[in-house]
Amino acid sequence: MPEKPAEHTDRSAVRSLMRLWPYVRPVRMRWFGAAFVAVLASCLGLVIPLVLKWMVDGPVADRDPGGVWLGALYLLLLGIAEAGLFGLRRWLVARPLAGVEASMRADLYRHLQRLPVAFHDRWPSGQLLSRGTTDLMLMRMFLAFPLTFLLVNGTTILVGFFILFAQDWSLGLVLLAPAVPLVVLCSVFETKYSVVARTAQDQVGDLTTVVEESVLGIRIVKGFGRHRSQARAFRALAQRLRGTELGKARLLAGIWALITAIPELAIGAALVLGTVQVADGELSAGTLVAFLSTALALRWPVESIGFLLAMSQESATAADRYFEVMDVAEELDAHTSAGEPGEGGGPGDAPGIVFDGVEFRYPDADPGSEPVLARIDLRVRPGETMALVGATGSGKTTLTALVPRLHEVTGGRILLDGEDIAAMERTRLRELVSVAFEEPTLFSATVGENVLMGAEGAGEQELRRALSVAQAGFVDDLPHGIGTEVGEQGLSLSGGQRQRLALARAVVGEPRFLVLDDPLSALDVHTEALVEAALRRVLERTTAVVVAHRPSTVMLADRVALLSGGRISAVGTHQELLRTNAEYAWLMSGAEDGSRVLAAEEGSTR
């Protein structure tokens, strides 16, 4: 779960929303044009009370029906002009702001692809999904409505009060009296609402995570009959979110009630005072009508302040959540931590894959904790296949993940043909190194598209060759062959079928370096034998590291490295290690005592 800000009240909503400016800048002229049109339309509404004043003090007082009809025509034209201008404002902002949202979503997706694996290990996918959907929608709505109308309503209120004071300054002061308490109320509301808005949006992310996990893990949920417990977990989170949303509603209802009631009291007081002045002859009836009409026209701009502030706070929170992700540093393309590649002789001059004093500790590990890998020194010769063997949790998968820089080494270096991978651009590194993971991941695409992800520019011939190596002839029996959509996560296929497609993806580009993490674990023994025979021909043309748990996989390798306690404890051929290393013999045999296997092996060689 990502860390939340310790104090939401410390952040400035204005500062958070100003970070949207780089995205708004390309469409600023249309936005400013739309804002100007909206201000003009709103100010036209303030002309209507002046027309009413002219009608009451003129044609109505003079009993002139023609003048009344002329005034009615003026009011109709003003109403039509106001409606047309508001429609024009909507047209001006709709397309460009949709483009702003699309640009922000594209940047977020691009950024997520470039963030280190450690980031994705820490962040729930639902939180990332909610930032790319709900939060972006809130920011687009802010740019389209609250931002514009905070400016429009502010301008309307200023122009309206200028007209009110021009009509009668004493009545204007009566209506201005609530300004101070309203400012205090809005400040308190903004502080409280920002905390609740952040909580609600984080809870939406948690809820999204539960839904996604339940859908992706539906086979587990159904297989173990856990639908009721999953429903209870979902209901609990939904109830928490409901409570938070009700809290938001209470805050908004409270501020809206106060913002509505206080100005109404001021208007009532102004009405009484104005009526007395008209009775005393100090004020004309038309002026009082114009004054009250202007005051009523300002009701919506004043009453909407709470609603606009609420939307602005939600948008500021959405911006904070969006930029929490965007501010995470991307993977650096190149850096050097141990001198220039090959400098000073030694391991840097050796071709193949060299692990030179490699250490690794996960980013979230305690500083004083033992590293997962400590002083790994290992060389895989050019064209050689090295098997990595070790007990569960010994760090085999972690070590292989360091080669394509899915994680960064925290000590030492890894060299490919004498070049430090830390100094390579990731694009080039991942063209040289191909990987197949123990847990195969397929995408909602065709069989061919999934396999060809392993080599940009590969064609039909390479695809067929890779499928042949992986013994994936089953694809021809699928409804549309290699054009068959495999569905989300490839769950329409069996585990062994998914693993064979993942292996085909790894070998399709004939990479110089190949990293395989127990790639045959889901295959039956007969299919495994066929895949191994075909894979052996591929391994002859590449330099490979293969994580192995079974003797049959180990037999693909020229040599074996035993990983124990975060270190390479032994290197040799399979037969050598069986004879000389009890731990290796135990791992390969599954016997309770590796010494028995060692003794049996020694006896068989006499």
DSSP for 166-202, please give it. Answer: HH-HHHHHHHHTTHHHHHHHHHHHHHHHHHHHHHHHH
More confident residue, 346 or 113: 113
In a shared domain, residues 80 and 156:
yes
Q: Residue 147 belongs to a domain with what CATH number?
A: 1.20.1560.10
Please check whether residue 342 lies inside any domain of the structure: no
Q: What is the pLDDT of residue 593?
A: 44
In a shared domain, residues 526 and 536:
yes
Cα–Cα dist 104/112, whole Å:
12
Instruction: Name residue 273's amino acid.
Output: L
Cα–Cα dist 527/470, whole Å:
9
Please check whether residue 2 lies inside any domain of the structure: no
Cα–Cα dist 165/143, whole Å:
33
Please check whether residue 121 lies inside any domain of the structure: yes
| Mean pLDDT value across the chain | 81
Number of domains in the chain: 3
Which residue range forms the structural domain that includes residue 315? 8-326
The H-assigned helical ranges of 327-385 are: none
pLDDT at 403 over 50: yes
More confident residue, 517 or 490: 517
In a shared domain, residues 391 and 300:
no
- Looking at residue 483, the DSSP 8-state letter turns out to be G
In a shared domain, residues 426 and 282:
no
Inter-CA distances, 449 with 295, 445, 511, Å: 65, 6, 18
Helix (H) or strand (E) holding 378, with range, is: strand 373-380
Q: What is the pLDDT of residue 149?
A: 82
Domain end, chosen from 291, 326, 361, is at 326
> What confidence tier does 475 reach under pLDDT thresholds 50, 70, 90?
confident
Please check whether residue 143 lies inside any domain of the structure: yes
> What confidence tier does 333 reach under pLDDT thresholds 50, 70, 90?
low
Cα–Cα dist 409/419, whole Å:
15
Neighbours of 475 (CB within 10 A): 25
> What confidence tier does 354 reach under pLDDT thresholds 50, 70, 90?
very high
Are 456 and 492 in contact by the 8 Å Cβ rule? The answer is no
Please check whether residue 46 lies inside any domain of the structure: yes
Q: What is the pLDDT of residue 531?
A: 78
| 107: its two tokens | 């940047």
Bridge-partner residues for 419, per DSSP?
A: 416
| 512: its two tokens | 């110089």
Q: What is the pLDDT of residue 101?
A: 87
Q: What is the pLDDT of residue 9?
A: 44
pLDDT at 323 over 90: yes
Q: What is the mean pLDDT of residues 140-148?
A: 84
In a shared domain, residues 298 and 163:
yes
Which strands, in side-by-side order, build the sheet including 433-436?
433-436, 513-517, 543-547, 385-390, 559-564, 567-572
Tokens 């889901």: give the residue.
Answer: 522
Cα–Cα dist 447/524, whole Å:
21
List the one residue out of 472, 535, 463 whose CA is nearest residue 499. 472
Pairing assessment for the beta strands 543-547 and 513-517 based on DSSP bridges: parallel
The H-assigned helical ranges of 217-336 are: 218-223, 227-279, 285-297, 299-326
Give per-residue pLDDT as tens, 295-315: 888 888 887 887 788 888 888
Backbone conformation region of residue 417, classed left if phi is above 0, alpha if psi is from -120 to 50, else beta? left
Q: Residue 453 belongs to a domain with what CATH number?
A: 3.40.50.300
In a shared domain, residues 435 and 549:
yes
pLDDT at 10 over 60: no
In a shared domain, residues 366 and 499:
yes
In a shared domain, residues 558 and 584:
no
Give per-residue pLDDT as tens, 153-193: 888 888 888 888 888 888 888 888 888 888 888 888 888 88
Burial 550-574 (b: 16+ CB within 10 A, else e): beebbebbebbbbbbebebebebeb
Helix (H) or strand (E) holding 121, with range, is: helix 117-122
**15-23 long-range Cβ contacts below 8 angstroms, 24+ apart:** 16/316, 16/317, 16/319, 16/320, 16/323, 17/142, 17/147, 17/312, 17/315, 17/316, 17/319, 19/319, 19/323, 20/100, 20/139, 20/143, 20/319, 23/100, 23/103, 23/104
* Distance from the Cα of residue 224 to its chain's centroid: 31
Q: What is the pLDDT of residue 349?
A: 55
List the one residue out of 345, 408, 402, 164 whose CA is nearest residue 263. 164
Are 454 and 515 in contact by the 8 Å Cβ rule? The answer is no
In a shared domain, residues 447 and 532:
yes
Please check whether residue 336 lies inside any domain of the structure: no
Q: What is the mean pLDDT of residues 106-130?
A: 86
In a shared domain, residues 439 and 321:
no
Residue 192 neighbours by CB under 8 Å, 6+ apart: 251
| 430: its two tokens | 């991942």
State percent of the chain over pLDDT 70.
90
Please check whether residue 334 lies inside any domain of the structure: no
> What confidence tier does 355 reach under pLDDT thresholds 50, 70, 90?
very high
Q: What is the mean pLDDT of residues 220-241?
A: 83
Are 355 and 414 in contact by the 8 Å Cβ rule? The answer is yes
Inter-CA distances, 63 with 58, 59, 70, 211, Å: 8, 6, 13, 70
Cα–Cα dist 87/33, whole Å:
13
| 468: its two tokens | 């042949």
In a shared domain, residues 82 and 228:
yes
In a shared domain, residues 546 and 606:
no
Please check whether residue 409 lies inside any domain of the structure: yes
